[in-house]
Structure 1
C-alpha cells in the first residue's frame, strides 16, 4: 500500500509542475500604432516633387509610376497600426491542455506499468530474449553470425555441431563435412557426427564413397551393427571399387534381412540388377529362401523409420549426384526415375526424365529407355490418383 501512496504523491508533484504554467493567466497586451507626422509630410513632398519631375520630362512615365508606388507603400506602412494579438484565447486553450494532461498522464502511466512493470508478471531474462531473437532471425543471418563466432573461436565445438547439419541441408557438403569433422575432434565421437560426416563427404564427392567416408561408415557399423545405412554404403563402396562379387553378396544380405514391403528394398534390387545383369531383382530377392542371418534379422527388426528414410534419401541423392556429374548412363537415369516414383515424388521424377533426355539426346541406343521413362511416370500418376501405391 505504501508503494501506491508514494507513486500517487510523485504523480501529483509531476502533474503540478507540468500543468501549473498552463493554468496561469496572462494579461493580454496590445500595442497601439504610433507614427511621426513628419514622416508622412516627407513622403507627400516626395510625391509632389515626383509629379514636378514628370511634368518637366526629367523622369519617364514608367519610372515615375514605380517611384509613386514605392512612396505610397512606405506611407501605408508608416500609417498602418501594429498590435500584438490578445492572449485570452491562448489562456483558454492552455487551461484545456492542462486538464487533458492531468487526466491522461496518470492513466497512461498506470497502463504502462501494468503492461511492462508489474511485479506479478513472469520474468523474461535476457538469455531467453536472445534465444527468441535468434529463432526469428533469417537463416542467412544466423549462418553469418555462427561463422563469425567460429572465425573468432575455431575451437567452439558446439558452434561446429550446430552449423554442420545446416550446411548439409543447404547442400554445402564440403563445409558440412568439415564442420562435422571439427565437432568430432573437439566434442568427441558420436554416431550422429559420424553419419553426418560420412554422408556429407559422399555427397561432396558426387556419390563416390571415398576413403574418409568409408572409414566413418565402418566405425558407425561397428558402433551400431543393427543399422542398415552404413551396410548399404559400404557395399556401394565395394561396387565402386570393382569388387562386384563382394558387392553382390552385400546387397543380397541387405535384401535377405528386409521385409517384403521395405521402402528401400526396390532401390537395393535395382542396384543389384545393375551389377548382376543376368540376375533379375526377383531372382536376387529369392535369396531369402536360404533364410536371413541373425544380424540381418536384428537389423530389419530394429531399423527405425528415420533410418529407412535417411538410407533411401542417401541412395537417391548419391545416384542423382553421380548422374549430374556423368549423365551418360541410361539405366542409371531409369533407376533414378523409378526411385523417385517409389518414394512418390513425381515432380523430381519428371525433372529427372527431362535431364535424362537432355544428357542422352545424342545416344540413339538409349531411345527405348528414355521413351519408357514417361510411361513409368504416367503409370505412377494414375496409381496415385486411384489411391494405390506406385
Structure 2
C-alpha cells in the first residue's frame, strides 16, 4: 500500500506542476523569460541612487532615464511575437487532459512493464530465494514418481537370460566392480533407468577416489533421464563430481546450466551456456537447445545479449540428418519428459540408420555427441572406435574426432 501512496503522490505532483505551467498568465511567463527587462529596471534604480548621492546631475539623470526607457520599449517590441494568450477555458482543458494523460500513462506503463502486487526483490533476496529453491528441490525419488510408466522393451530371450544371470551375480558378489558396470550399462539400454542409476552409484562407491569424470557423468545422465530432464539434488552432486575433475566438460556444463535455470538462477545458466554456444561444435546436440533458449535466459538475467549467427558447416558437402531449427525450438518448449523422449527417439533412429545404411561423418559425430548428452559414454566410445574403421579420409575422420574430443574420448 505504501508503494501506491508514494507513486500516486509523485504522479499527482508531476501533473500539478505541468498544470500550473499551462495555467500561468502570459505576464508571468514573460517575466520569467525576459531577463533583459529586469536589467533595465535595475539600471533605472541605479540612476535614482546616483542622483540622490549627487554622482550625476539632474539633466544627466533625465537623459539616462530617457535612454533606458527607450531601450525597454525597444526590447518589449522585439520580444513581442504577435501571439495571443489562449482563452482561460482552453488552458484549463489542456491542463486537465495533460494531467490525466500523465496519470493514466504512468500506471498503464507500470502495468505493462512492472509487477503490480509484488514487493521489491533486491538481488540478494532473489539469490537467497534461488538457493532455498535449490535446497528444497524434490528428491530423485519424487521426480521419478511423477514420471509416467513406460512399457517394458521386448528383448531377445538369450539377452533376457543373460540379464537375469547378471542381476543374480551382483547380488551374490556385491563388491565385484565389473558386474555393477555391466549392469548399469545394460539396464540403461533396456530403459530401466532407476535400476541403472542405482547400479552406477554402486560403481562410484566401489571405485571411491578412483572414480573418474566419466563415472560421475554417466551417473548424472541416468539420473536426469529418469527424472524426465529435471536435475535433482543427487544429479547435482554427480555433476559437481564431473566438474571437479573436468571443469570444461561440455555435457556437465550444459546440465549445470539447466539446473540453475530450474532453480531460479538464469544468470548462472547464462554463464554456463554462453561459452558453450561460442565454443561449439555447431553439431553438438546441446547447441540447438541452447541457441533456442539463450535469449530468453539472458532476458531473465537482465543481460543484453544477441546470440552469434549460426555458423556455416565447414563441410557443406555433407548434409547431416537430424532435427531442424524449428524442431529444436519446439523441443525447448516441451515438458522435460517429452523432450527427453524426443532426444532418445532421435538417437535411436539415427543409430539404426548408421548401423544399416551408414552415413556421412557428420551423422557419426552427431551420434557420439547425443550419446554423451544421454550419459551413454561407453556406447559413444564404441561409435568412435567404429568410425575410425569406416573413414580413411583424414578430413572426414576429423569431423567425428571433434565430437569424440568434446566428450574426452580422445586427445
TM norm structure 1: 0.38
Q: Which structure's relative contact order is higher, taking Cα pairs within 8 Å and 6+ residues apart?
A: 2
